[in-house]
């Protein structure tokens, strides 16, 4: 995973297709960040969540942007410096963990990351530990995709190894197939007040060439690697045919992507109540 994202970091989210940014901005809006809050953005990539979060918490807050890919982290660090966002810190996640102290964050965000984890429950528990009592967590994952995405993805299937066809990562079954599945992951990691918000994103492509650039700048680049070079042209021609069927009257190819936001919190400690002995005296017994 580290190698894949390090390899695509240069092109990641640079295809001109509005995809990661609107998904991330939707997550930041839902987290209702206040000036001064401390945010950890897990799997920051090139900062799709990090920067709108940094604007929301302002100079008195902080956003710690962490990722397993050192190149993604370096891009985010450089962009934060260009923008003059001193409230953004960056760190590379290593085998030793996220490198953020337990109970030091008000909010954890993570957009389009959790489904990559071999053990999403364990991963989430490690993120929950970062939160103070009363802290909030928000995770973005994919809901159902437009059937056109499915038909394009199907073109890659004959070439893919079994692990990439795994139903858990494709979301065809397992925790990422339903709202309830992801909610159960959060509840199982200790979150309370867990709820889901859905949003349908219209993704616009000028043409199939822009789709190909987009797909090479996302995790789908791994799919292309498994297609033998001599078969890539034919696959692209078939994808073009499928995509052209989704061309709309405004001239763009428009695909729908359902986005699932799963939100939760860490229970606040209850205000200390009277001791049982005091209760006895209150009740006159
Ligand atoms: C699809 S990208 C999303 C990046 C960013 N959140 C965005 O919305 O553009 C997934 C990112 O998660 C990172 N990643 C994957 N597993 C991770 C983990 N266990 N901890 C931290 N980062 C991880 C990858 O390196 C990659 O940068």
Dist. CA 205–CA 248, nearest whole Å: 11
**Is ligand 1 within 6 A of the CB of residue 73?**
no
242 near 153, Cβ under 8 Å? Answer: no
2 CA closest ligand 1 atom index: 25
DSSP 94: B
Report pTM.
0.92
Average pLDDT (66-82) is 97
Q: What is the pLDDT of residues 83-127, one digit of tens each?
A: 999 999 999 999 888 989 999 999 999 999 999 898 999 999 999
Instruction: Report the share of the chain in percent with pLDDT over 70.
Output: 92
Dist. CA 234–CA 1, nearest whole Å: 28
Which residues, other chains included, contact 90 with Cβ-Cβ below 8 Å and sequence gap of 6+?
A: 44, 64, 65, 66, 73, 74, 76, 77, 80
Average pLDDT (129-155) is 94
Q: What is the pLDDT of residues 184-208, one digit of tens each?
A: 999 999 999 999 999 999 999 999 9
**Is ligand 1 within 6 A of the CB of residue 71?**
no
**Is ligand 1 within 6 A of the CB of residue 236?**
no
Kindly report the protein residue whose alpha carbon is nearest to atom 19 of ligand 1. Answer: 117
**Is ligand 1 within 6 A of the CB of residue 117?**
yes
**Residue 156: its H or E element:** helix 147-156
Q: What is the pLDDT of residues 202-225, one digit of tens each?
A: 999 999 999 999 999 988 888 899
Query: Residue 166's pLDDT band (boundaries 50, 70, 90)?
Result: low
**Cβ atoms within 10 Å, residue 85:** 19
Dist. CA 9–CA 93, nearest whole Å: 16
Per DSSP, what are the bridge partners of residue 205? Answer: 253
**Is ligand 1 within 6 A of the CB of residue 20?**
yes
Per DSSP, what are the bridge partners of residue 111? Answer: 140
Distance 42 CA to ligand 1 centre (A): 7
Distance 92 CA to ligand 1 centre (A): 11
Domains of the chain: 2-145+171-204+256-267 (3.40.50.150)
Structure token pair of residue 109: 């965000």
**Cβ atoms within 10 Å, residue 58:** 15
């Amino acid at each position: 995973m580290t190698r894949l994202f390090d390899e695509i970091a240069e092109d990641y989210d640079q295809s001109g297709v509005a995809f990661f940014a609107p998904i991330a901005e939707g997550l930041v809006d839902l987290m209702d960040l206040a000036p001064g809050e401390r945010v950890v953005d897990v799997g920051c990539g090139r900062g799709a969540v990090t920067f709108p979060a940094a604007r929301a918490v302002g100079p008195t807050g902080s956003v710690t942007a962490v990722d397993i890919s050192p190149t993604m982290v370096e891009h985010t660090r450089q962009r934060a410096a260009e923008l003059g966002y001193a409230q953004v810190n960056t760190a590379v996640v290593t085998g030793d963990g996220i490198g953020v102290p337990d109970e030091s964050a008000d909010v954890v965000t993570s957009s389009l990351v959790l489904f990559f984890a071999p053990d999403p429950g364990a991963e989430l528990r490690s993120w929950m530990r970062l939160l103070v009592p009363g802290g909030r967590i928000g995770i973005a994952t994919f809901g159902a995709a437009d059937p056109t995405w499915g038909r394009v993805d199907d073109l890659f299937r004959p070439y893919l190894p079994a692990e990439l066809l795994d139903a858990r990562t494709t979301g065809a079954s397992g925790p990422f197939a339903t709202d309830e599945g992801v909610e159960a992951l959060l509840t199982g990691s200790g979150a309370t007040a867990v709820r889901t918000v859905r949003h349908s994103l219209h993704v616009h492509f000028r043409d199939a060439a822009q789709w190909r650039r987009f797909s090479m700048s996302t995790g789908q680049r791994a799919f292309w690697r498994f297609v033998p070079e001599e078969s890539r042209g034919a696959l692209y021609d078939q994808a073009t045919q499928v995509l052209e069927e989704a061309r709309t009257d405004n001239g763009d190819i428009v695909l729908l992507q359902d986005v699932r936001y799963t939100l939760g919190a860490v229970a606040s400690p209850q205000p200390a109540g009277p001791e049982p002995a005091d209760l006895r005296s209150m009740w006159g017994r």
